[in-house]
Copies of this chain bind each other. A is one copy, B any other.
Amino acid sequence: MQKTKKATIREVACLSGVGIATVSRVINGNYPVSEAVRADVWKAINTLNYRPNIAARSLKTQKSKMAGVIVADLSNLFFMQLVKGLEKELSAHGYNMILAAHDEDPGKERELVEMLLENNVAAIVTTTCQTDNRYFASLKDTGVPIILVDRVMDGLPLDCISEDNEDASFRAVRSLTDNGHRRIAVVNGLLTVSTAALRYSGYLRALREADIPVFAPYIVDAGNGTAYPATLRLFSLPARDWPTAMFCTNNRRAEGALRALKELDLSVPRDISMVSYGDISLPWLFSIRLTHVHQDLLALGRRTGELTVRRIEDGGDRIREILRSELIIGDSVRSQAPE
């Protein structure tokens, strides 16, 4: 057992009787070193329990193998599956990640970005909650690539990778109108978030195409919170005004709405039809299969990781990628006779 807190490259050089540069070459394997010397150096490294100091290396090389990742919420399976895919891809390329959550607070997100920049991350991946694009614009000169995932912003020379939120939502809601529904509520999130705004647009477009006027009480705002109270409020309308169907714009809101419906003793699809954007947890515990836009977060994460690595290592032009997501037809929508 060593007494030394931390062996340095100098001590390794000393013990193995070679120059400090040679040790560096052995460690990095980037320049030729004679077999004998290499063996000696490795022996010294092992006996001293030497570990290279990444901070020093990174200071010298101005490079870093650390990526910064910012998500909205660490305890939301949605983001964590995304992160899992991302981590897989990053670590496959030798990158590790500093992870943090902005909790839907744009100020906090900016602080985190600053923190990541100070830590010399090679790139920053964020599910942003910024409401205007000036902050990211001001970061152009840092030279650190920023990749927006899931939630994107316009007018910025950043890589963006997202789903076809608007169109998938449109298709989801059309599966309601196609079944004769005309009283369709939507449970929105914060419309400052791009995904929420686009999903709402898709809803509006589907209504427009079916010549259904927008009925304000059906536009439910769950904000940043759960959809549970919002849904309860929806059904405090006079019963004759109740919607016959709901579109929940993400997994959490679908879960919250289902909870409220259960409490109200309304059954899906008998009393109300439902479609959701995103997959709820434990779908097989639920008595019916929910019609929903399926999101392959692992794939989205991996794709993001791929893109991130490419951007760090090869440069190249910024891209804007939109993955198409699939509508899975379950049995949570019933045919509605015209009124």
Interface set of A (CB-CB < 8 Å, partner B): 1-6, 49, 51-56, 58-59, 64, 66, 73-75, 77, 80-81, 83-84, 87, 91, 96-101, 114-115, 117-120, 138, 140-143, 255, 258-259, 262, 280-282, 284-287
Would you list 19 pairs from A and B whose C-beta atoms are within 8 A, ordered by A residue? Answer: A1-B141, A6-B143, A49-B138, A51-B114, A51-B118, A53-B59, A54-B120, A55-B56, A55-B59, A55-B120, A66-B119, A77-B281, A87-B100, A91-B100, A96-B98, A96-B100, A97-B98, A259-B282, A287-B287
Partner of A101, one of B3, B5, B59, B84: B84
Which B residues are in CB contact (< 8 Å) with A73?
84
Q: Which of B49, B56, B262 sits near A59, CB closer than 8 Å?
A: B56
In Å, the complex CA distance between A49 and B87 comes to 30
The CA-CA distance from A75 to B58 in the complex, in Å, is 30
Which single member of B96, B140, B284 contacts A259 (CB below 8 Å)? Answer: B284
Q: Are A285 and B282 in contact (CB under 8 A)?
A: yes
Given contacts A55-B58, A87-B100, 19 further A-B contacts (CB under 8 A): A1-B138, A5-B143, A49-B142, A51-B114, A51-B118, A54-B120, A55-B55, A55-B56, A56-B59, A73-B84, A74-B83, A77-B77, A84-B101, A96-B98, A97-B98, A259-B284, A259-B285, A281-B281, A287-B287
| Minimal Cβ-Cβ distance residue in B for A137 | B1
